[in-house]
């Protein structure tokens, strides 16, 4: 018995906040599945993603398969003082980098908050398509993201498009796993 082939990606499109809101449980399920989190985490993340949609510079790009199911999702917004991630990363940078260097990264950046491709459709270039479309007109002079440490497809993607180490082996409050904070200047090269 052979497994049914995975549905092919048909389109990669930008979504408005209203369009994402209409598909938010499905989008968060892609995140939960891709990250290997328990299913109950879906309900925990929906309010967080909803709150992010009101932030300045918010943008979202999604990939859909031939059955109009979400295959991948990415979003981000302008990072700013007072946001949880910004404050966590700022603290880590000030512990390890000269203040001037931390300011260079944090003064005007787009936070790539989420980028996930469903495991059934990984390895088809969707992550890079979503990333490039999302960052094509992202605000800011830099883009920053955090990702769990370790050799993954995500790491290979980020390195391929020019992300560099900003912080390594960093631990966010409330999560014991080591993360890397990666960054690069904008715009991306085509």
**First-residue to last-residue Cα distance in the chain:** 42
CB atoms within 10 A of CB 69: 16
The alpha carbon torsion through 82, 171, 150, 122 (nearest 10 deg) reads -40
Catalytically annotated residue among 31, 75, 158, 170 = 158
Residue 158 annotated to the active site: yes
Length of the chain: 190
Q: Is 67 helix (H, G, I), strand (E, B) or coil?
A: coil
Distant-in-sequence contacts of 155-163, Cβ < 8 A, 24+ apart: 157/127, 157/128, 157/131, 158/182, 160/128, 161/128, 161/131, 161/132, 161/188, 162/188, 162/189
Active-site residues, by number, are: 158
């Amino acid at each position: 018995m052979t497994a049914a082939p995975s549905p092919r990606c048909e389109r990669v499109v930008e979504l408005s906040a209203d369009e994402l809101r209409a598909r938010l449980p499905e989008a968060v399920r892609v995140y939960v599945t891709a990250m290997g989190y328990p299913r109950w985490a879906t309900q925990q993340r929906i309010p967080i993603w909803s709150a992010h949609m009101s932030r300045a510079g918010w943008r979202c790009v999604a990939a859909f398969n031939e059955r109009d199911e979400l295959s991948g999702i990415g979003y981000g917004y302008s990072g700013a003082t007072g946001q949880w991630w910004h404050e966590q990363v700022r603290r880590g940078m000030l512990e390890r980098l000269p203040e001037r260097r931390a300011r260079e990264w944090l003064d005007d950046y787009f936070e790539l908050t989420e980028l996930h491709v469903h495991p059934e459709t990984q390895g088809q270039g969707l992550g890079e398509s979503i990333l490039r479309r999302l960052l094509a007109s992202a605000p800011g002079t830099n883009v920053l993201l955090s990702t769990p440490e370790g050799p993954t497809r995500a790491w290979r993607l980020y390195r391929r498009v020019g992300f560099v180490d900003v912080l390594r082996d960093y631990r966010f409050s409330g999560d014991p796993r080591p993360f890397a904070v990666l960054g690069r200047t904008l715009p991306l090269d085509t």
